[in-house]
């Protein structure tokens, strides 16, 4: 017997009972703990209908122009549906070492809630002119956390970059993909030597 | 005409709400409740961090829209912890008539509140929809403390259409969410051109690039697959077929299981290529109601 047919047998058949006398063997199994009345059936139908209508209702946004605001838990699932241009803009941190080399720093220096939540919060704050404050906050956190992989970082820069997607997908490194890099904030890491002028990008 | 309608209604009832034992909704309650405990328990400190995010990032969604400003972090923490308590009661099937709806309500609040900080995540929607259905259904009539107290056995001899209807409503809600995701792509800026895969390829690139720039590692496989545009056409068409065809999963158990395998594979594919995790989908619990759907009732 296959596992699936065994599961089916358990789910569909009433639990088997030992051999019983004729009157007991004809006794019907009890119903659910909720009484099966007309009112129950109407209520179950209404609740199921209301839930499924609420799930389907965000489809109304498909007929409207512009970007509709997403909601929870009744969403119109916009992921992967927006048009993407050939470029991507993102605000992020760069760490600069003593040699002047730069590399992206982890988003947890900018906030909590995971990559995407932080990315959106930072985009808004950079747009509002908060870039310098973000760089200073990240530099202070970097010094306080003192992670081994970031010990060589002397300066933190908050930048807004524009990157070429096709170049990236064809294997180009970050420098090749970078079309524009705008500095919106910079701060030295407290307790570490200041970076020499002209170093870094 | 009325005979035909009567036959259709009868066939729908036998398929969608077949009389069954309480085992299927009970197993689903254990799986969904257990998953919630693991999911929230593992992320408890992350959520507590979110409760302390700068106020200017607060952008309420869903039921949290009743708030004009964030809750005091300690109150938000307490509500989160309360949902772990109701989650344990729900999973064990203790006082289900009260704890079921209460757990669904608390989960609705907590996930809506968590999604009110700049970004709406889509991986908790179906977990919540499943909990709502199980919380309102008699899902603790077996394999529960309630069953032990009421019937003195974990597997009482009960039979009802309510047990068959429970996985059907869960499956219908999930099928609708997939259908919406498919329609969103086709009614978006690219329309039918979405099927070419160009848009999907750009989304994959954006996702990988943003991970690199925000200090996470992107999957090197993205750059290996990147130049092969035809591959993205296949993936785009495949996902559209699956999403738009989701309602057929309700027709019968076979297409239901086929859909479950297809969707489960698609999410694992997204995980491997894009490293985007939909934990509830990847766990397989999302598709369990399709697997545990009782057979249609005989005439």
Considering B158, B189, B210, which residue would you say is the last residue of a domain?
B158
- Taking the mean position of all CA atoms in its chain, how far away is CA A198? 37
Contact assessment for residue A120 and residue B119, using Cβ atoms and an 8 Å cutoff: yes
- Token readout for B54 is 């700068």
Contacts of B122 in chain A (CB under 8 A): 75, 77, 79
Residues of A in contact with B291 (CB under 8 A): 4, 7
- B20 contacts A77? CB cut-off 8 A: no
What's the CA gap between B17 and A40, in Å, rounded?
14
Whether residue B154 is found in the same domain as residue B199: no
Which residues from B are below 8 Å from A174, CB to CB? 212-213
**Closest-approach residue (CA) in chain B for A117:** B119
What value does the mean pLDDT take over residues A2-14? Answer: 48
Helix (H) or strand (E) holding B96: helix B96-114
Q: Which residue has the tokens 């047998």?
A: A9
The ipTM is 0.92
Question: Closest Cα partner for B273 from B185, B209, B204?
Answer: B204
Which of A3, A31, A33, A54 best tests the B interface by mutation, with the highest count of B CBs <10 A? A33
Confidence of residue A2 (pLDDT cuts 50, 70, 90): very low
Contact (CB<8Å) A8/B117: no
Is B12 domain-assigned?
no
Are both B186 and B286 inside the same structural domain? yes
Where among B106, B138, B158 does a domain terminate?
A: B158
3-state SS string for chain A: CCHHHHHHHHHHCCCCCCCCCHHHHCCCCECCCCCCCHHHHHHHHHHHHHHHHHHHHHHHHHHCCCCCCCCCCCCCCCCCCCCCCCEEEEEEEEEEECCCCEEECCHHHCCCCCHHHHHHHHHHHHHCCCHHHHHHHHHHHHHHHCCHHHCCEEEEEEEEEEEEHHHHHCCCCHHHHEEEEEEEEEEECCCCCCCCCCCCC
Q: Is the pLDDT of residue A7 over 50?
A: no
Task: Show the tokens assigned to B38.
Answer: 């693991």
Contact A119 B214 (CB under 8 A): yes
**So where are chain A's domains?**
87-188
Name the residue of chain B whose CA is nearest to A90's CA. Answer: B210
Q: Identify any residues that bridge with B144 across adjacent strands, giving them in sequence order.
A: none
Instruction: Using pLDDT thresholds of 50, 70 and 90, give the confidence band for residue A197.
Output: low
- Contacts A70 to B, Cβ<8 Å: 61, 120
User: Is B208 an 8 Å CB contact of chain A?
Assistant: yes
Confidence of residue A196 (pLDDT cuts 50, 70, 90): low
Chain A CB within 8 Å of residue B148 CB: no
Reported confidence tier of residue A26, pLDDT bands at 50, 70, 90: low
For residues B20 and B159, what is the distance between their CA atoms, to the nearest angstrom? 5
Answer yes or no: is pLDDT of A27 > 80. no
Domain region containing B224: 170-299
pLDDT at A8: 47
In a domain, B14, yes or no: no
Of A4-13, A105-114, B104-113, give the range with the top mean pLDDT: B104-113
From chain A, pick out residues whose CB is under 8 angstroms from the CB of B46: 112-114
pLDDT in tens, chain B (299 residues): 688 888 888 888 899 999 999 999 999 999 999 999 999 999 999 899 989 988 888 899 999 999 999 999 999 999 999 999 999 999 999 999 999 999 999 999 999 999 998 678 888 999 999 999 999 999 999 999 999 999 999 999 999 999 999 999 999 999 999 999 999 999 888 888 899 998 889 888 998 999 999 998 888 888 888 888 899 999 999 999 999 999 999 998 999 999 999 999 999 998 888 878 899 999 999 999 999 999 998 87
Question: Looking at the domain assignment, is residue B5 inside a domain?
Answer: no
Contact between chains at B213 and A169 (C-beta distance less than 8 A): no
* Residue pLDDT, tens place only, A124-157: 899 999 999 999 999 999 999 999 999 999 999 9
Residue among A33, A73, A171 whose CB faces B138 most closely: A33
Q: Specify the pTM.
A: 0.83
- Would B292 be classed as within a structural domain? yes
* Domain finish residue from B134, B158, B182: B158
Q: Are residues B33 and B132 in the same domain?
A: yes
Label residue A36 by pLDDT band (50, 70, 90): very high
Q: Provide the chain B residues 250-279 that lie in CB contact (below 8 A) with chain A.
A: none
**pLDDT over threshold 70, residue A74:** yes
Cis peptide before A73, with omega less than 30 degrees from 0? Answer: yes
CA–CA distance, B290 with B252 (Å, rounded to integer): 10
**Taking CB atoms and an 8 Å cut-off, how many pairs form between chains A and B?**
247
Q: Can you name the residues that pair with A102 across neighbouring β-strands?
A: A96
Is residue B191 located within the same domain as residue B275?
yes
A113: which chain B residues are within 8 Å (Cβ-Cβ)? 46, 49-50, 53, 117-119
The answer to whether B238 faces chain A, any CB pair under 8 Å, is no
For B:82-111, CB contacts with A below 8 A are 108, 111
* Count of domains observed in chain B: 2
Determine the residue among B58, B111, B161, B205 to mutate to test chain A binding: the one whose Cβ has the most chain A Cβ atoms within 10 Å.
Answer: B205
Contact across the interface for A107 and B53, Cβ inside 8 Å: no
Which two three-digit tokens encode residue B243? 């999403």
Is residue A67 over pLDDT 80?
no
- Closest CB from A12, A14, A169 relative to B201: A169
Return the sign of the alpha-carbon dihedral for residues B90, B95, B101, B103.
negative
Residue A5: band (very low, low, confident or very high) from pLDDT cuts 50, 70, 90: very low
User: End-to-end distance of chain A based on CA atoms, in angstroms?
Assistant: 68
Whether B170 contacts A55, CB under 8 Å: no
Q: Cα separations (Å) of A100 from A103, A150, B60, B213?
A: 10, 14, 42, 18
Q: Is residue B3 part of a domain?
A: no
Best A2, A11, A142, A165 residue to mutate vs chain B (most B CBs within 10 Å): A11
Mean predicted lDDT score pLDDT of chain A:
83
| pLDDT value for A173 | 83
The position carrying tokens 């066939």 is B11
State how beta strands A102-104 and A178-188 pair.
unpaired
- Residue A156 has phi, psi (to 5 degrees) of -115, 130
- Is position B209 within any domain? yes
Question: Do the beta carbons of residue B249 and residue B293 sit within 8 Å?
Answer: no
pLDDT of A25 strictly over 80? no
Is a pLDDT exceeding 90 seen at residue A189?
Answer: yes
Q: Give which of A178, A192, A129 is closest to A158, Cα–Cα.
A: A129
Q: Tell me whether B231 touches chain A (CB under 8 Å).
A: no
- Orientation of helix B253-274 relative to helix B198-213, angle to 10°: 50
**How large is the average pLDDT for residues A36-40?**
93
């Amino acid at each position: 017997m296959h596992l699936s047919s065994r599961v089916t047998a358990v789910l569909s058949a009433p639990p088997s009972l030992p051999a019983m006398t004729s009157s007991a063997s004809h006794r019907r199994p009890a119903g659910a703990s909720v009484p099966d009345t007309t009112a129950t059936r109407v209520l179950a139908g209404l609740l199921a209908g209301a839930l499924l209508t609420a799930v389907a209702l965000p489809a109304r946004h498909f007929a409207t122009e512009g970007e509709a605001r997403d909601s929870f838990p009744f969403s119109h699932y916009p992921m992967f549906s927006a048009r993407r241009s050939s470029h991507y803009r993102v605000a992020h941190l760069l760490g600069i070492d003593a040699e002047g080399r730069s590399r992206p720093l982890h988003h947890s220096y900018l906030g909590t809630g995971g990559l995407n939540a932080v990315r959106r919060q930072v985009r808004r704050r950079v747009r509002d002119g908060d870039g310098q404050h973000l760089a200073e906050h990240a530099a202070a956190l970097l010094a306080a956390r003192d992670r081994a992989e970031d010990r060589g970082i002397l300066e933190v820069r908050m930048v807004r970059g524009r990157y070429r997607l096709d170049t990236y997908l064809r294997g180009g490194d970050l420098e090749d993909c970078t079309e524009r890099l705008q500095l919106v904030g910079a701060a030295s890491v407290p307790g570490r030597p200041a970076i020499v002028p002209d170093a870094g990008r | 005409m009325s005979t035909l309608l009567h036959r259709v209604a009868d066939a729908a009832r036998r398929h969608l709400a077949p009389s069954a034992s309480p085992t299927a909704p009970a197993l689903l309650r254990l799986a969904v409740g257990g998953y919630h405990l693991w999911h929230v328990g593992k992320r408890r400190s992350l959520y507590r961090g979110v409760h302390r995010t700068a106020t200017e990032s607060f952008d309420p969604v869903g039921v949290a829209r009743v708030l004009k400003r964030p809750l005091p972090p300690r109150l938000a923490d307490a509500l989160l912890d309360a949902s772990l308590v109701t989650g344990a009661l729900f999973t064990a099937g203790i006082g289900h008539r009260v704890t079921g709806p209460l757990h669904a309500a608390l989960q609705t609040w907590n996930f809506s509140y968590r999604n009110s900080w700049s970004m709406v995540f889509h991986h908790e929607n179906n977990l919540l929809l499943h909990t709502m259905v199980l919380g309102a259904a008699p899902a603790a009539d077996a394999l529960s403390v309630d069953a032990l107290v009421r019937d003195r056995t974990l597997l009482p001899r009960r039979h009802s259409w309510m047990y068959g209807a429970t996985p059907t409503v869960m499956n219908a809600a999930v099928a609708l969410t997939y259908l919406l995701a498919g329609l969103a792509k086709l009614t978006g800026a690219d329309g039918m051109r979405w099927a070419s895969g160009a848009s999907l390829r750009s989304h994959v690139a954006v996702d990988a690039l943003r991970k690199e720039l925000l200090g996470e590692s992107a999957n090197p496989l993205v750059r290996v697959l990147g130049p092969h545009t035809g591959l993205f056409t296949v993936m785009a068409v495949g996902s559209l077929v699956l999403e738009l065809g989701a309602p057929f999963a309700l027709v019968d158990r076979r297409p239901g299981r086929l859909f479950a395998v297809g969707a489960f594979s698609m999410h694992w594919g997204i995980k491997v290529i894009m490293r985007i995790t939909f934990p509830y989908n990847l766990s397989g619990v999302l598709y369990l109601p399709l697997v545990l759907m009782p057979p249609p009732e005989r005439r």
